[in-house]
Amino acid sequence: MPCRLLYILPSHDTCGAADQAALLAAGLPREDFDVQCVRLGEGATGDDLPLRSGIDLAGYFRLKRLLRELRPDIVHLWQSDAEAFARRAAQAVGCRHIVTTQCDAERPATAAGRFADRWLARPASRVIFPSELLRTQGATQGRPIDCSVIIPRGVALPEATGDAAVRCEAELAPLGVPADTCWIAAAGELTAEGDWKQLLWAMALLKEVRSDFHLLYFGDGPQRGRFKQYVQQIQVDEFVTLLPRPWRLEEFLPRAQVFAGVGARDVQPHGMLCAMAAGLPVVASDTPAHRELIDAEKTGFLVDPGDRAALARWIQVLLDDAPRAAQMGTAGRDKAARQFSAQQMVAAHQRLYSELLREIG
C-alpha cells in the first residue's frame, strides 16, 4: 500500500512553497506515495480550509475532521501560517510524523502562533530548510533545528523549443507588450516592504538611454494598485506590464533576455531559480540569499541593495552584449542543474519519507 501523504499549503504563498510541493508531488513514484493537498489559512476558499487569524477553534476542528477522513501516514506542512495548529490537529488524530518546510525563516510569528508553538504542539519530526542560511536564520528566531535537514529547492529544467518565443509574444500582444523589444523578467510579492520601487526607478533610468525594452513583472499582493499608480507617476507605463496571478513566470522566460531580482530578505527567490534554469543571466541585489544562487560576474551581476543606477547599468550591459549574456545564462543553467535539480530535491524527500516510514513500521 502506498504511503499516504498530506501536503498542507499556505493560502497566501510568498515563497514558492506551492510550486515546490507541486514539483515534488509530480516527481514521487505513484506506486509508493499517494499525495493529497489542501490549503490552510486566511483567504482559503472552495475545498480548502479557511482559518481566521488568531486562535480559530472552528478551523482546528475542520482540519481534524479532514485528517480523520484521509488518515495520512505523514503530514507535510509547507510554510503554513497555522503550522502549530496543524501539528496539534495531526497529533490529536494519531498521525505519528509531521514534516515542516521552512521556506522563509524571516516571517515573524504572531502572538497566537508563539502561544501555540509553546503550549499546543510538540515539535515536528523533521524540519526542512532549503539552505544553511535559512537554518541559521531560523535558529536565531528560536525555531527547533535539532531535527532539521537541508534539502535545497528544486527546479525543472525547461526544454528549449523553437516556437516558445513566438507563443509568448502572441499571448502578451493583447496586453500591449511589444514583440520587437528586449524583455526583462522580474517576480515578487507586491508588499509595502518590497523593493519593487527600486526596480521601477531602474526602468526609469534605463528609458533615458534606450527604448527597446519592456519589463514583465510577475507578482501580486496588497500593493498591486500602488504598483500601477507608481508606474504612471514615474512615467514608465510604456515600458512596464504587471502580470498578476494566474500568469506564470516560467511560461514566459523563454522569450526574456534578462531576469532582474531585487529584495533585501534572506529568502531564495523561486523566480530567480526558474530564470537560471531557463538560461537567463540575472541582475540582483547583493544579499546573502542571492549570493547562494548567483556567482557574481559568472551567472549574473550583484548590486548593492537600493542602487537603482547600478541595477539599470548592468541590465543595459547584458542587453547590449548578447554573447556575454548567453555565456552567463548557460553558466546559471548549469548551476541550477548541478545544485538545484528537481530530481535531487525529489530524491532527498523520498529518502526522508522512507526513513520516517521505517520508524513507524
* pLDDT tens per residue across span 58-101: 778 888 999 999 999 999 999 766 677 788 888 889 888 999 99
Quick one: average pLDDT of 186-203? 90
Q: Is the pLDDT of residue 297 over 80?
A: yes
Cα 330 versus chain centre, distance: 22
- In angstroms, the Cα distances linking 341 to 93, 103, 124, 345 are 35, 17, 26, 6
Q: Is the pLDDT of residue 294 over 80?
A: yes
Q: What pLDDT sits at residue 14?
A: 62
Cell output for 148: 532539521
Range 259-271 burial, b when 16+ CB lie within 10 A, else e: bbbbbbbbbbbbb
Domain range list for the chain: 3-154+341-360, 164-339
- Would you say the C-alpha torsion 131, 89, 48, 141 has a positive or negative sign? negative
For residue 318, which amino acid is it?
L
Domain 164-339 has CATH 3.40.50.2000: yes
For the chain, strand residue ranges (E) read: 3-10, 33-41, 49-50, 74-78, 97-101, 126-129, 148-150, 182-187, 213-218, 240-243, 258-261, 282-285, 300-303
Cα 133 versus chain centre, distance: 16
The reported pTM is 0.88
Q: Is the pLDDT of residue 125 over 70?
A: yes
Instruction: Please state, in angstroms and rounded to a whole number, the distance separating the CA atoms of residues 209 and 46.
Output: 49
Domain covering 3-154+341-360 in this structure, CATH number: 3.40.50.2000
Q: Is the pLDDT of residue 149 over 60?
A: yes
Q: Is the pLDDT of residue 138 over 80?
A: no
Residue among 250, 230, 242, 217 nearest 336 (CA): 250
Residue in this structure with the C-alpha cell 555565456, named with its chain if needed? 327
Average pLDDT, the chain: 87
Q: Is the pLDDT of residue 191 over 80?
A: yes
| Beta-ladder partners of 301 | 283
- The number of residues making up the chain comes to 361
Q: What pLDDT sits at residue 134?
A: 86
Cα 105 versus chain centre, distance: 13
* pLDDT tens per residue across span 247-273: 889 999 999 999 999 876 656 788 999
Residue 280 pLDDT level (bands cut at 50, 70, 90): very high
| Beta-ladder partners of 260 | 283
Q: Do domains 3-154+341-360 and 164-339 have the same CATH topology?
A: yes
Cell output for 177: 507588450
Residue 360 pLDDT level (bands cut at 50, 70, 90): low
